Amino acid sequence: MGDLKKDETSRAGAFTLRAMNQRMILNAIFEKSPTSRTGLSKDLQLSKPAIADNLDDLISSGIVLECGEGEASKGGGRRPRLLRFNKNHRFIIAIELNYKDPIFVLGNLKGDVINEFSVKVSENAGPEIRMDLIKNAIHILLNSEDLSPENLACIAISSPGVFSDNRELSFVNPQFKDWFDLDLPRLISEEFRVKVLLKNDVNMAAFGESRYGAGRTSKNMLYISCGIGLGAGLILDSKLYEGRFCSAGEIFNNIDPAKLTAGTNLEKTIFISSLIKKSKESMRIDQYNDENISDFNDVVKLFRENNPYIVKQLEDIGIELGCTVSNIVNLLSVDRVIIGGEYLVFNDILLAQIKNIVRQHCLFMPDIFPSELGHNAGIAGLFALSREDYFDYIIKAL
């Protein structure tokens, strides 16, 4: 009996090692496609027999293709057979539910965008209408490339809110309640018979920046999105950190003694509506009535004209953000901070304030950059996360 248990443990360990090697090989082919068995052996420090053995399953699955011959070595001999990642092995549909119009994107496993569009939704549209809209949009994307749901790796959705594995612990921002009253992920999964991922929008922007943007070379990164709303995403040890209840990064409710007394929080202090309101008030007090501010575009216009009232409000916002960033940097020892969101347009002022405060109050000075991907960061994150999830599925299925 003891020998039987040892054999089972040994087989389980071998399976785990095999799965780890196959995932490592798949990742390497994805990153360096095309490559060769010899190249993989050298890069991954695995023996050529181990590479060949683990490759068989990946090639059989169709996610890795053999694609011709490479250059022969200087010493001569056979030309190596090249290996290529099959980026069209499956496809991904990414849906971004934002504050304006939802965005629908079809792409492949490499992240190449094949089709993309947004749809206008009436604020009065109920849950059933919104659900039909999403289903129709998915069908349009599939039909545009003559695909069926079986061709999908998954459908990935991002939205402001907290989305825990336990639905009872999940919540969405009030503006998005109508999207989720009918259990959006379940109904989409049942309709198309495909896995559905639902993630926080700022977390996906952080993940996108970490894989394709300003965070590519960082293992420990903080991403802050500021504008219509406020949120943060954390990449720790190169992985997205969501916390026990998937609520890590919800800095919108950050408070200090002054905010506690006033009954407010960080988001209400610095978000767009507050910026507009405070700018109007300061102009009215000084009887500065030459400018009319009705929306965010007016604020941007005045900022570009170096309006002193707008500049002052933005400097105050930079101080608030600088304090928040300093506390997180000291707590988690991140080496990079990326600022995104609608306030990206004000980076010259905001980053100067943030850097000044962080420099004075942090033990170690992180790199602080504006977002490279801008409004595309969230979609990039959805594609990257979906691909990694599908890689896990493929390896388990081999």
Burial tier of 118 (Cβ tally within 10 Å: 0-12, 13-18, 19+):
middle
**C-beta of residue 325 within 8 angstroms of C-beta of residue 222:** yes
Given a cut of 70, whether residue 9 has pLDDT beyond it is no
- For residue 114, the model assigns a pLDDT of 97
Residues of the chain with CATH 3.30.420.40: 91-206+378-397, 217-372
Using one digit for the tens of pLDDT, what is the confidence trace for 148-175?
A: 999 999 999 999 888 887 766 677 777 7
Residues of the chain with CATH 1.10.10.10: 12-85
Given a cut of 60, whether residue 105 has pLDDT beyond it is yes
Using one digit for the tens of pLDDT, what is the confidence trace for 314-336?
A: 999 999 999 999 999 999 999 99
Given a cut of 50, whether residue 8 has pLDDT beyond it is no
CA distance 183 to 176: 12
Q: What is the pTM of this model?
A: 0.89
Percent over 90 (pLDDT), the chain? 63
Domain made up of 91-206+378-397: CATH architecture? 2-Layer Sandwich (3.30)
Mean pLDDT of the chain: 88
Given a cut of 80, whether residue 176 has pLDDT beyond it is no
CA distance 27 to 10: 26
State whether CATH 2.40.50.100 applies to domain 12-85. Answer: no
Domain made up of 217-372: CATH architecture? 2-Layer Sandwich (3.30)
CA distance 208 to 149: 25
